[in-house]
Structure 1
Amino acid sequence: MTPSSATFRTRIKICGLTREQDVDAAVDAGADAVGFVLYAKSPRAVTVERAAELARRLPPFVVPVLLFVNEAPDRVQAGLVAVPGSMAQFHGDETPELCGQSTAEGGHRWLRAARIPLGAAGAGFDLLNYAASYSQASAILLDAHVDGYGGAGKVFDWSLLPTAVDAHLVLSGGLAPANVGDGIALLRPRCRSLSVDVSSGVETAKGIKDGDKIREFVAAVRAADALLAR
């Protein structure tokens, strides 16, 4: 039986939002989730209060994701409480135990970022073991290992990833309208389900999104899904 197009629906997260108009643009374009960076050293950082304010613009079924880097569990929990319906994204050196401890109260879902080395060094990253270690995560987010914990627009070598991963994966790191279709075509058959996460690829400046680029990115994802469905 030929799979329906719904089988290949790639979920989309637009990350690093700082402005109302960018939240609205992401929602209007059809994003499934939006990300707010709660890491003070990031050029895209917002406060918990600002994230909560922006998240109030979201309609039902669009998920706010709060990005943390090596944050104390009580501060993670406070952020999740302040932004109802949110889930956590751990992007630093957090252990599985710390991720679980930080989200246990309230049963919040969480993502764990895997920072893949650039170039041939990426072959040395054991994604299968990493995914098994963080088996309680809702998904493993694949990002390039760069200074500043992401958002640098760098693409790691996707072809070095395992051909079968028993996890939900979120492809990130240097995605843009021009290359996201290639990433989906390569990785979708390798995992339980695939989502994509974009930040710099839809910006005019760090933290400033471009509505046209967001729409182009979403359209490119849907075109890739349609090709897989055929």
Structure 2
Amino acid sequence: MSVIVKICGLSTPEMVDAALNAGADMVGFVHYETSPRHVPLDVAASLSQRVGDRAVKVLVTVDMADMALAAAVAAVKPHALQLHGHERPDRVSAISGRFGLPVIKAIRIGGKPGDIGRISSYEDVADLLLFDAAPAADGSGLPGGNGTSFDWTFLPALNLRTPWLLAGGLRPDNVGEAVMKAGAYGVDVSSGVESGPGIKDAGKIAAFVANARAAAKALG
């Protein structure tokens, strides 16, 4: 079995190099000013050039309007878009059609009855799904990157048609278990490989990638 590994929230050349040297398949640049991992477009463009074609470059946005999104795509030239807000299925479909790029749609999983029910409505409009833990109910959390997890053991039973990435609370010490028990197509990490908010740790990145690969190999 193979597993896709995505390192998200990269904001410096050193972080990009650490992810690439570790063998990450996908790297994410967050353009969302509220996030501690936010990168301005000129910085994101420079980091994107540094990556080249060594990994899939993902531009992460949250409920961005068309004009702003078009400017971001033109500057960063990503290989894929990640929509991490409240984008409805018709909005996801419209963005996919307008930009002609693969779209990853993040779906927040928490304690609400409708969380799981919403998944099927995105299967025909997104190229990849990403399951992340919902932020705190009091509104104190960010759309993603909060370092919290959810009960992902139910995911294999969904038999989804669309490939999916698992996120939320993953770290080097638990990513192997997540790969083996959740049966994810891929895993995504941001805060779980940081030494502080927005500050990636090269050693943790390397360990995360290695442990994910080892678990996938053990599954055959």
**TM-score by shorter chain over 0.5:** yes
Q: Equivalent pairs: percent with the same residue?
A: 40
Shift of 1:102: 2.6
Shift of 1:74: 2.1
Residues 169-216 of structure 1: per-residue CA shift (max 9 Å, x gap): 10000100111111111222xxxx611100011101111111110000
- Name whichever of 167-176 and 102-111 sits farther off: 102-111
CA contact (8 A) 1:67 1:89 kept: yes
Q: Which residue identity lines up with residue 166 of structure 1 in the other structure? A: R
CA contact (8 A) 1:77 1:105 kept: no
Q: SS at the partner of 1:105? A: helix
CA contact (8 A) 2:149 2:169 kept: yes
CA contact (8 A) 2:7 2:24 kept: yes
Number of the residue aligned with 2:151: 157
Q: SS at the partner of 2:87? A: coil
Number of the residue aligned with 1:227: 218
Number of the residue aligned with 1:45: 38
For 1:167 and 1:134, how far apart are their aligned partners in 2?
Answer: 6
Number of the residue aligned with 1:3: none
Q: SS at the partner of 1:154? A: coil
In the alignment, is residue 31 of structure 1 matched against residue 24 of structure 2?
yes
For 1:85 and 1:18, how far apart are their aligned partners in 2?
Answer: 15
- After superposition, residues 49-128 of structure 1 pair within 5 angstroms as 49-117=42-110, 121=111, 124-127=113-116
For 1:46 and 1:99, how far apart are their aligned partners in 2?
Answer: 23
Q: Which residue identity lines up with residue 172 of structure 1 in the other structure? A: A
Residue ranges of structure 1 left out of the alignment (5+ in a row) = 1-7
For 1:155 and 1:129, how far apart are their aligned partners in 2?
Answer: 19
CA contact (8 A) 2:12 2:47 kept: yes
Shift of 1:96: 1.6
CA contact (8 A) 2:83 2:104 kept: yes
Shift of 1:128: 5.8
Shift of 1:37: 0.8
Q: Check 1:158–1:125 CA distance in 2 against 1; reply closer, same or farther (3 A cut).
A: farther
What is the TM-score normalised by the length of structure 2?
Answer: 0.91
Residues 111-164 of structure 1: per-residue CA shift (max 9 Å, x gap): 1001000xxx26x34536523434221111000001211111101011233512
Number of the residue aligned with 1:174: 169
Shift of 1:108: 1.1
Q: SS at the partner of 1:161? A: helix
For 1:127 and 1:100, how far apart are their aligned partners in 2?
Answer: 20
CA contact (8 A) 1:32 1:62 kept: yes
Residues 82-101 of structure 1: per-residue CA shift (max 9 Å, x gap): 22243111111111222222
- Name whichever of 135-144 and 56-65 sits farther off: 56-65
Shift of 1:24: 0.4
For 1:162 and 1:168, how far apart are their aligned partners in 2?
Answer: 11
In the alignment, is residue 214 of structure 1 matched against residue 205 of structure 2?
yes
Number of the residue aligned with 1:12: 5
Number of the residue aligned with 1:22: 15
Q: What's the RMSD between the two structures over aligned residues?
A: 1.7
Q: Check 1:207–1:80 CA distance in 2 against 1; reply closer, same or farther (3 A cut).
A: same
